[in-house]
Amino acid sequence: MTQAIANKVDYLQAFEPFNQQRSAIDSASLQSLRQRAAQRFQALGLPNRRLEAWKYTDVSLLARSSFERALPLSVSPEAIQPFVYDGCHQLVFVNGYWAPELSRVETLPAGCILGSLAEALQEHPDLVEPYLGKGASFEDHAFTALNTAFLEDGAFLYLLPGTVIEKPIHLLFISTAKDQATVSYPRNLLVAKAHSQATIIESYIGLEGSYFTCPVTEMVADENAVIDHYKIQREQLKAFHLATMQVQLGRNSSFSSLSIALGGALARTDLHANLDAEGIDCTLNGLYLVKDNQRVDHHIHVDHRKPHGTSRQLFKGLLDGTSQAVFSGKVYVHPKAQKTDAQQSNRNLLLSDDALVHTNPQLEIFADDVKCSHGATVGQLDKEAIFYLRSRGLDEVAARRLLTYGFASDVLEQIKISAVRDHLEQLLSTWLPA
């Protein structure tokens, strides 16, 4: 089944046949969730620049385009080989649908359930439904509502208390469109119960064509859980990527996320971390590399609700050509969140005179015993540093490349998985202007 989707088309016309098709398969609660999300999207419509949260994100090109719901396609193992990492459990999704023939999951601990969300909804509804749709609110976010309305498949991870996954879990989402522009809605639910640990890599890759990827990832880390998360966005340069990530953290849990964005004509990630318990340690870092006429946005919201919470944010951007980027980060400290320690920093390096970045780090503090800081920088390569390197025998091109690489490499050095770190360092070296 395919349904054309465009800004001037009633989205409920695309939704109703899909929901009816799923009615014989899904529970009444899931159908109700979809119905409410579709109605909310119909009320919201696509966002425009009159909305403060979308002031610098222009989705008019997306609104003028039309997409068909993506269908499962066959992809050869050779096509995805450049994007896989050795030593990982691997779940592959093509156009939002699980591809078991491309996936590779070795022996897992007894306390781990890992697989397709569509299968989990049938086999483990008692584990899925208490969390699905509870974190990622669609009341004020049109693309979260759109994803929820067409929720069907994605990744599901459930760790029982005390379960430790030694090998990283790689969730590889492949998008490919041949004759018609398509849209896919991957939905991921990752739950780590008390004292569990896991490392998760979430990759979005484009093979060909023009398409729209609209993913939502919900994560829950209970008391003393430890989650390391990496998101790698390498969509095709004609693609759209509008993602939501919602993280709910429990007492004394530790969550670390690193976002790498290289692809997409328009790519935006909205990340909301809810620190609703004491002693939480949350790190949200990122690196975006944009050139030509790309647009890449990051909107980060960290809610400190309880005492003794720590959060760190460091996002760096390299911009070339006529590219644009947006960083909007907010740290909100609630009245009961005494002893909060929060730091937020956004640093940008413009490699051309036509590149543009909008940066807006924010602190809203309603507690009086906190240690918080924020800042942003936008600049170009230091001419004195270039001169110094040239005086040591480098030509100007080599000097500029070395300084640019040094600006970004400290973010990549935080990656604990050597295969991922080496791969991204190679991508950075390839991306740098010749």
pLDDT of residue 12: 64
Question: Do residues 100 and 179 touch, judged by C-beta distance below 8 A?
Answer: no
Each residue of 88-114: pLDDT tens digit?
999 999 999 999 999 999 889 999 999
Are 281 and 364 in the same domain?
yes
pLDDT of res. 19: 84
Whether the per-residue pLDDT at 1 is higher than 50: the answer is: no
Q: Are residues 146 and 99 in the same domain?
A: yes
Question: What pLDDT is attached to residue 330?
Answer: 95
For residues 355 and 402, state if they share a domain.
no
**Does residue 55 sit within a domain?**
no
Same-domain status, 200 and 281: yes
What pLDDT, in 10s, does the model give residues 166-225? Answer: 999 999 999 998 878 899 999 999 999 999 999 999 999 999 888 999 999 999 999 999
Percent of the chain scoring above 90 in pLDDT: 78
Q: Using an 8 Å Cβ cutoff, are 153 and 70 in contact?
A: no
54 in any annotated domain: no
Mean model confidence pLDDT for the chain: 92
- 49 lies in a domain? no
In this prediction, residues 275-290 reach a mean pLDDT of 97
Q: Is residue 391 part of a domain?
A: yes
Backbone angles phi, psi at 360, to 5 degrees: -145, 75
Pair (248, 155) in one structural domain:
yes
Range of the domain at 416: 383-434
- Asked whether residue 253 is domain-assigned, the answer is yes
Picking from 5, 43, 54, the residue whose alpha carbon sits closest to that of residue 299 is 54
pLDDT given at position 5: 46
Give me the number of domains the chain comprises.
Answer: 2
- Where residue 216 falls (left for φ over 0; alpha for ψ -120 to 50; beta otherwise) is beta
Residue 278 confidence (pLDDT): 97
In the sheet where 281-290 sits, what is the strand order? Answer: 97-98, 89-94, 169-176, 197-208, 226-234, 254-261, 281-290, 310-319, 341-350, 371-379
- Do residues 44 and 142 lie in contact, with contact meaning Cβ atoms separated by under 8 Å? yes
Are 363 and 389 found together in one domain?
Answer: no
Stretch 108-135: mean pLDDT = 95
Tokens of 30: 């899931």
Q: Does one domain contain both 306 and 412?
A: no
User: Within this chain, do residues 247 and 391 fall inside the same structural domain, yes or no?
Assistant: no
Domain closes at, from 344, 367, 382: 382
Residue 230: pLDDT band (50, 70, 90) is: very high
**What pLDDT does 116 receive?**
97
Within a domain: residue 90? Answer: yes
Residue 40 lies in a domain: no
In this structure, the answer to whether residues 411 and 432 fall within a common structural domain is yes
Going by pLDDT thresholds of 50, 70 and 90, the confidence category of residue 6 is very low
The per-residue pLDDT for 328 is: 96
Question: Could you give the percent of the chain with pLDDT greater than 70?
Answer: 97
8, pLDDT greater than 50: no
- Is the domain of 309 the same as that of 374? yes
Nearest residue to 408 (alpha-carbon basis) of 265, 205, 258, 276: 258
